[in-house]
């Protein structure tokens, strides 16, 4: 593997350390090994990052769009060339299996950079004829954007934010979760290699307080957060005080509805992907699986059979399909939900415990878990668990399924499996979610917008829609006639 990051922060085109900042360790959750010691950003580091970003943004915005596009494209190419080493680092940082990180992290970041590179070259306003006069609009960058990320997809989150932000002519200061601080530093290095101005993409480390300091910094024009609903509320409030733009990618408790005419193996595949991929640590997971009563027994039986075959183990082993959770604290939280499920009367149909044996003893592993006989009022059906815990509920009619699916304050995603075309679109139209999948689940290609409704957030990442959230319109009205004044 190429060298690991050499200091905690990447500011103004170089690595930067300030040992006065609170120290913290990056731990490989599969073994408990410390893989790096870092320091949270001090006010001096934050200031340096904001000054560098402000300066770089002005330069970057003055470039020809096609030049900006070229740099973003080069970043994408370099990330793809280095996918193996970036994925290994991501696996050490997040403990997600290498078979996942090789296909879902640096590669999806590269997709975002490549796709928004093409958008960068085609930003334009419109001309509006006004009789004698006319007006035109200019789509302008916002300035310095702050990105704050969760720990499940650090590289992807950084790129999903940086790619549209930079395509629109902004600069970015990114703070990863302190649990996964390393991989975004390598992305920052690549930006420099690709020819971006120093300071265009900066990474500063730290806990919530650093995120809060960035969100309220006077230079910050926009804050884009990927995190939980409670953190979203705090960051939104801080941003509102300064009238700053926001994008909020928050949590969910998404429904997946399986009708009795569905291809059952596909539906089970979707339910497993939407509950067990990344050890269940995915915001859009379909954690409430509503299965039509007539097929429940068959569905559950095959679901258990296929879940039993999941290979849990060392995430660096290419055969491993499920790694540990990100931390001991997260495992305690998930085990607490499993206890609540049992206490409140759900049937533990599979898993629920911690695997034992030498491979598992020092890590934060957990078994993929299936509860059946879950009801809407149980804690496991209401709260986001962020672990591999699938809740199976049954329903009789379409109307009932839709009403119960919508009975949550969250609204990030939803899915449905059926062979009935009319019903598929009718139900998709009724579900309160930012994204609905029909006969598939959790696919998020860069070409399509992604984001939530209700408590799950606002704004959209990916797709052309994202450009709206990283730019603002200026209107210029050009008077060509005499000025009509009553005075
Ligand atoms: P958190 O909300 O705990 O943290 C998210 C980020 O915000 C972290 O970098 C965190 O720093 C930072 N932060 C915490 N407090 C503040 C504050 N007051 N001001 C500014 N920044 C702050 O989320 P997790 O990291 O635990 O991630 C899990 C959550 O993220 C889940 O709810 C999940 O659904 C959601 N998520 C949403 C996605 C989406 O696209 N909709 C995708 C992935 C995850 P620190 O880590 O140091 O606390």
CB-based contacts of 349: which residues, under 8 Å, 6+ apart?
Answer: 300, 304, 370, 371, 372, 392
Q: Evaluate: CB of 208 within 6 angstroms of ligand 1.
A: yes
Which residues are designated catalytic? 161, 249, 283, 461
SS3 of 430, please?
A: helix
What count of other Cβ atoms lies within 10 Å of the Cβ of residue 67? 13
Q: Evaluate: CB of 102 within 6 angstroms of ligand 1.
A: no
Phi-psi region of 56 (alpha: psi -120 to 50; beta: other; left: phi over 0): alpha
CA of 231 to the centre of ligand 1 (A): 6
- pLDDT, mean over the chain: 97
SS3 of 479, please?
A: coil
Q: Which atom of ligand 1 is nearest to the CA of 235?
A: 19
Check whether 329 has a pLDDT greater than 90.
yes
Q: Evaluate: CB of 226 within 6 angstroms of ligand 1.
A: yes
Q: Evaluate: CB of 386 within 6 angstroms of ligand 1.
A: yes
SS3 of 292, please?
A: strand
431 φ, ψ (degrees, to nearest 5): -80, 135
Tens digits of residue pLDDT in 226-263:
999 999 999 999 999 999 999 999 999 999 999 999 99
Cα–Cα distance for residue pair 110/77, rounded to 1 Å: 7
- What is the residue with the minimal CA distance to atom 14 of ligand 1? 208
- Alpha-carbon distance values, 104 to 61, 390, 422 (Å): 30, 22, 32
Can you give the pTM of this predicted structure?
0.97
**What is the structure's pLDDT at 354?**
98
Q: Which atom of ligand 1 is nearest to the CA of 207?
A: 47
Tens digits of residue pLDDT in 361-420:
999 999 999 999 999 999 999 999 999 999 999 999 999 999 999 999 999 999 999 999
- What is the residue with the minimal CA distance to atom 44 of ligand 1? 283
Strand-pair category, 389-395 with 288-292: parallel
- What is the residue with the minimal CA distance to atom 5 of ligand 1? 227
Mean pLDDT computed over 268-293: 98
Tens digits of residue pLDDT in 42-62:
999 999 999 999 999 999 999
Q: Evaluate: CB of 444 within 6 angstroms of ligand 1.
A: no
């Amino acid at each position: 593997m190429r060298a690991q990051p050499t200091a905690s922060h990447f500011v103004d085109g170089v690595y930067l350390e300030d040992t006065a900042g609170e120290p913290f360790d990056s731990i490989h959750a599969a073994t408990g090994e410390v893989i790096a010691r870092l320091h949270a950003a001090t006010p001096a580091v934050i200031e340096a990052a904001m000054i560098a970003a402000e300066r770089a943004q002005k330069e970057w915005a003055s470039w020809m769009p096609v030049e900006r596009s070229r740099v973003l494209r080069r970043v994408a190419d370099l990330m793809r060339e280095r996918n193996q080493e970036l994925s290994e680092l991501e696996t050490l940082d997040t403990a997600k299996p290498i078979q996942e990180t090789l296909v879902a992290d640096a590669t999806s970041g590269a997709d975002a950079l490549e796709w928004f590179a093409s958008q960068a070259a085609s930003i334009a306003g419109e001309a509006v004829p006004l009789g004698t006069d006319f007006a035109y609009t200019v789509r302008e960058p916002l300035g310095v954007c702050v990105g704050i990320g969760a720990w499940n997809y650090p590289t992807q989150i950084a790129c999903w934010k940086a790619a549209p932000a930079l395509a629109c002519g902004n600069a970015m200061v990114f703070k990863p979760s302190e649990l996964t601080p390393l991989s975004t530093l390598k992305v920052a290095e690549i930006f420099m290699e690709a020819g971006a101005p120093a300071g265009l993409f900066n990474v500063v480390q730290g806990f919530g307080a650093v995120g809060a300091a960035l969100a309220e910094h006077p230079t910050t024009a926009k804050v884009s957060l990927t995190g939980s609903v409670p953190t979203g509320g705090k960051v939104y409030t801080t941003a509102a005080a300064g009238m700053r733009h926001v994008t909020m990618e928050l949590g969910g408790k998404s429904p997946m509805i399986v009708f009795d005419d569905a291809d059952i193996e596909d539906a089970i595949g979707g339910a497993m992907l939407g509950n067990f991929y990344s050890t269940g640590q995915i915001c859009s997971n379909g954690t409430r699986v509503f299965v039509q009563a007539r097929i429940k027994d068959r569905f559950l039986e095959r679901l258990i059979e296929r879940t039993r075959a999941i290979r849990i183990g060392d995430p660096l082993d290419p055969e491993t399909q499920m790694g540990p959770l990100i931390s001991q604290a997260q495992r305690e939280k998930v085990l607490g939900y499993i206890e609540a499920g049992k206490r409140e009367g759900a049937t533990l149909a599979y898993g629920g415990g911690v695997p034992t044996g030498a491979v598992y003893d020092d890590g934060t592993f957990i078994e993929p878990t299936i509860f059946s006989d879950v009801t809407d009022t149980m804690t496991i059906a209401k709260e986001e668990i962020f672990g591999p815990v699938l809740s199976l509920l049954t329903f009789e009619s379409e109307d009932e399924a839709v009403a119960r699916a919508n009975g949550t304050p969250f609204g990030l995603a939803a899915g449905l499996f059926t062979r009935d075309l009319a019903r598929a679109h009718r139900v998709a139209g009724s579900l309160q979610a930012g994204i609905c999948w029909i006969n598939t689940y959790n696919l998020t290609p860069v070409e399509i917008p992604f984001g939530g409704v209700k408590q799950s957030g606002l704004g959209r990442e990916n797709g052309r829609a994202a450009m709206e959230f990283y730019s603002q319109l200026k209107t210029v009205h050009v008077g060509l006639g005499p000025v009509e004044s009553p005075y």
